[in-house]
A and B are shown apart, each in its own frame.
Chain A
Amino acid sequence: MKNFDYVRPATVTDAIAAAAAPGAVYLAGGTNLLDLMKGDVLRPSRVVDITRLPGLDAIESLPDGGVRIGALVRNAVLAHDADFAKRFPAVAEALLSGASPQLRNAATAGGNLLQRTRCAYFYDTASACNKRDPGAGCGARGGETRLAAILGWSEHCIATHPSDFCVSLLALDAVVEIAGKAGQREVPLEDFYALPGDTPQRETVLEPGELITAVRLPAEAAAFSAHARYLKIRDRTSYAFAVVAAAAALRMADNKIVEARLALGGVAAKPWRARAAEALLIGERPGREIFRHAAEAALTDAKPSGDNGVKIELAIRAAARALALAAAGTPARIPALPASPFAVPNGVLHV
């Protein structure tokens, strides 16, 4: 690991000033950053420890019925907050399907949004990577592409965003609150990430030194609480990144779908909202055929970025199944294996 200056500011204003320097990074949970630094993938010259900043670790109910999640709220704390999990069960299930208990105890909401791709070619400093070293090329093209993108990718980068949390947040119209030198601003999560194009090193709309202070869910997001699920297809039942994942949420009345939300994970450089699929579901009765039809619409533009065409059908099936699970109703308790296709109503199917 390259040496760095360690600073621990006491206020958000001081943190933003400290992080404006070239080569500076913020440290929160550190679960991704330290891993990348140990691998020499990231070589910051200054680490700005924000873990003691006041006021950023609250889960706050807003007067309008929404919720503000402070950037430093730990994943496990949020997922196990009884009121939050009841109102936003797909978000809690997504959180609990990610990483390990130890990592969820350290990782933060803000850090989750900013975690880097798990593309092996980004991690391997001997491989070419346009994200790590702009202009170097993309080692993943023609390489192992099981975790690579099928939507929104470019010749320059086929990496995927690894978050589960963000997929569920995107389905529910989350908004990102940001502090910077120029003051506060907010950006819908849907507009927060950039597709790779020819600048895959630019991943978000954040300017240097800007700090995520909170993520907000609007009051309307809680209207889906009776029919909201997250489904994650992965190579191991626990503690693995998604090959594909889907967050599905429905608002139902008289056994008809009044409003639908669908977002996909593991398929693109950002969590992927499937608005065309959502529109097809309005006014329909839940059923296999309509869910398959909607899921196919979500993947209309998909194309393999390598030997990963299987992910298109896998994503269609995962999306359709997530919709069916949502239609069946949010379980009273998150399954023992959260978001797993092996979780069944009365326990677990083992292979």
Chain B
Amino acid sequence: MNLPVSFNLNGVTRDVVLDDPRMTLLDLLRERLHLTGTKKGCDRGQCGACTVLLDGRRVNSCLTLAASCDGAEILTIEGLAKGAALHPMQAAFIAHDALQCGFCTPGQIMSAVGLLLEGQAGDDPERIREGMSGNLCRCGAYDGITAAVLEARHDLAAPDQAAA
């Protein structure tokens, strides 16, 4: 069964023919398109390592069928920086040492970007922690992650970053 799928990936239109309807968006990104920044952790929607933005919403790419992404707009960790300029969330994660092993980090950053787009957490660390509860960090870098999200929120709200 060949399924043609067309979508916008990190700003570029991609046309792919799926030869297996079982392929998830996560496997499509990693195995076919060789974008391995999106990580496969549990592969069951529990850890958040595979988080990407799908039509502007953060989702678990492991629980998304690639075939159902026809016509979608997808943003992965590879599409976040503008050339050599890191996205403020990436810079804030580095500034706050918000990682140890780094495996969960692409998912954490994409989830954090999604969290700010949702605009529900504000400056409340408790709401940020709850809003990041779909992303597990086995190294336990949660304090740094919360601090990074708070800082990135302010950086993104600054006038010169408003378009970032």
- Which residues of chain A from 53 to 100 have any CB-CB distance to chain B below 8 Å in the complex? 74, 76, 80, 99-100
The answer to whether A51 and B130 touch (CB under 8 A), given A35-B63, A105-B57, is no
Give the CA-CA distance A3 to B19 in the complex, in Å.
11
Q: Indicate which residue in B43, B63, B65, B124 contacts A6 across the interface (CB closer than 8 Å).
A: B65
Complex contact A238–B130 (CB within 8 A): yes
Q: Which stretch from B75-83, B112-120, B137-145 is at the chain A interface?
A: B112-120
Complex contact B24–A34 (CB within 8 A): yes
Complex contact B60–A106 (CB within 8 A): yes
- Which residues of chain B from 57 to 74 have any CB-CB distance to chain A below 8 Å in the complex? 57-60, 63-65, 67-68, 70
Q: Which stretch from B28-36, B44-52, B93-101, B150-158 is at the chain A interface?
A: B44-52
B15 — which chain A residues lie within 8 A by C-beta? none
At the interface, yes or no: B17 with Cβ under 8 Å from chain A?
Answer: no
Query: Chain A, 228-267, contact with B by CB distance < 8 Å: what is the 0/1 string?
Result: 0000000000110000000000000000000000000000
Complex contact B63–A30 (CB within 8 A): yes
Give the CA-CA distance A49 to B21 in the complex, in Å.
11
Complex contact A101–B65 (CB within 8 A): no
At the interface, yes or no: B161 with Cβ under 8 Å from chain A?
Answer: no
Give the CA-CA distance A4 to B3 in the complex, in Å.
13
Give the CA-CA distance A31 to B45 in the complex, in Å.
7
Give the CA-CA distance A186 to B90 in the complex, in Å.
49
Give the CA-CA distance A39 to B46 in the complex, in Å.
14
Chain A residue at minimal CB-CB distance from B56? A105
At the interface, yes or no: A5 with Cβ under 8 Å from chain B?
Answer: yes
B21 — which chain A residues lie within 8 A by C-beta? 3-6, 47
Complex contact A102–B67 (CB within 8 A): no
A27 — which chain B residues lie within 8 A by C-beta? 65, 68
Interface size on A, residues (CB 8 A): 33
Chain A residue at minimal CB-CB distance from B48? A102
Complex contact A76–B57 (CB within 8 A): yes
Query: Chain A, 119-144, contact with B by CB distance < 8 Å: what is the 0/1 string?
Result: 00000000000000000000000000
Give the CA-CA distance A238 to B51 in the complex, in Å.
18
At the interface, yes or no: A103 with Cβ under 8 Å from chain B?
Answer: yes
Minimum C-beta distance from A204 to chain B (A): 23
At the interface, yes or no: A21 with Cβ under 8 Å from chain B?
Answer: no
If over half of B's interface residues share one DSSP class (helix, strand or loop), that class is named, otherwise mixed; here it is: mixed
Minimum C-beta distance from A116 to chain B (A): 14
Give the CA-CA distance A159 to B112 in the complex, in Å.
35
Complex contact B3–A6 (CB within 8 A): yes
At the interface, yes or no: A205 with Cβ under 8 Å from chain B?
Answer: no
At the interface, yes or no: A337 with Cβ under 8 Å from chain B?
Answer: yes
Minimum C-beta distance from A171 to chain B (A): 24
Chain A residue at minimal CB-CB distance from B119? A80
Minimum C-beta distance from A328 to chain B (A): 20
B51 — which chain A residues lie within 8 A by C-beta? 102
At the interface, yes or no: B14 with Cβ under 8 Å from chain A?
Answer: no
Give the CA-CA distance A47 to B120 in the complex, in Å.
34
Where the two chains meet, the residues of B that have a C-beta atom closer than 8 Å to any C-beta of A are 1, 3, 20-22, 24, 43-45, 48, 51, 57-60, 63-65, 67-68, 70, 111, 114-115, 118, 120, 124, 126-127, 130-135
Q: A4-B21, A8-B70, A30-B65 are in contact. List 10 more A-B contacts (CB 8 A).
A: A6-B67, A31-B60, A99-B134, A100-B134, A100-B135, A102-B48, A102-B114, A105-B114, A106-B57, A348-B126
Where the two chains meet, the residues of A that have a C-beta atom closer than 8 Å to any C-beta of B are 1, 3-6, 8, 27, 30-31, 34-35, 38-39, 47, 49, 51, 74, 76, 80, 99-103, 105-106, 238-239, 336-338, 347-348
Which 6 pairs show the lowest CB-CB distances between chains A and B?
A100-B134, A6-B21, A238-B133, A336-B126, A105-B57, A102-B134
Q: List 19 A-B contacts (CB under 8 A).
A: A1-B22, A6-B65, A30-B63, A30-B64, A30-B68, A34-B65, A35-B45, A39-B44, A47-B21, A51-B68, A76-B57, A76-B118, A101-B131, A101-B134, A102-B60, A105-B58, A239-B134, A337-B130, A348-B126
